[in-house]
Amino acid sequence: MKHIIIGSAVKKQPLNSLLGYRYCVSMDEKDIQFALADARKMLVAADHMLTITYPMINDPKMLLSITNNAFSAISNGMNALLGYEHQWKRVSSVPQEFMTQLTVFKNKVAKNVGFPNETIKKISEVLEIVNKHKTSPVEFVRKNKFVICSDTYGMNALTVERTKSFIKTAKYFVEKVDEWVNKNGD
């Protein structure tokens, strides 16, 4: 067994997963609770940055950091949920890559847990922002917006309102995952 880091959690993985297989071994209850605790910490950080730090600094570049924290909260929540579902054999494996996790979530888990389609769409939107930022050749600030451009100069703007909606979605997602895991874990 080798250890690899996923987010801020250390996961034990067999050597074959390090050789290209993108699925991790099952998570135990401690790992699931750890992932949920990390998700809550990311939410607190994002909320603090948006409500306390951002008004003082008033720099739209900070909206990206806040969105990244919301994404980290969603990602940790997704790890916890899929780990829990794997533990109960409702999903066959827990993918490492978030895109694959989101697909498994949409196809096998969301309906059982009771997530509305709007939440799934908003999670996809947060993922899209994070991915566009990673591949963006140009980013700039304009009129209290942080604008991310694609290679073809399609623009995607982060505003305070949009960032608030991401945090709201992340809070709802993490709370719902926490409720599902702890209600059904009894």
- Asked if pLDDT for residue 131 goes beyond 80, the answer is yes
Name the pLDDT band for 26 (thresholds 50, 70, 90).
Answer: low
Report pTM: 0.85
Contact status, residue 156 vs residue 64, Cβ threshold 8 Å = no
Mean pLDDT to the nearest integer, 20-49: 85
Name the pLDDT band for 160 (thresholds 50, 70, 90).
Answer: very high
Contact status, residue 86 vs residue 52, Cβ threshold 8 Å = no
Please tell me which residue, 171 or 185, carries the higher pLDDT value: 171
The whole-number pLDDT of residue 24 equals 59
Compute the chain's Rg from CA coordinates.
17
Contact status, residue 70 vs residue 126, Cβ threshold 8 Å = yes
Fold (topology level) of 27-184: Four Helix Bundle (Hemerythrin (Met), subunit A) (1.20.120)
The whole-number pLDDT of residue 144 equals 94
What percent of the chain lies above the pLDDT cut of 70? 84
Mean pLDDT to the nearest integer, 99-112: 96
* DSSP helix, strand, coil percent of the chain (3-state; round to 5): 65, 15, 20
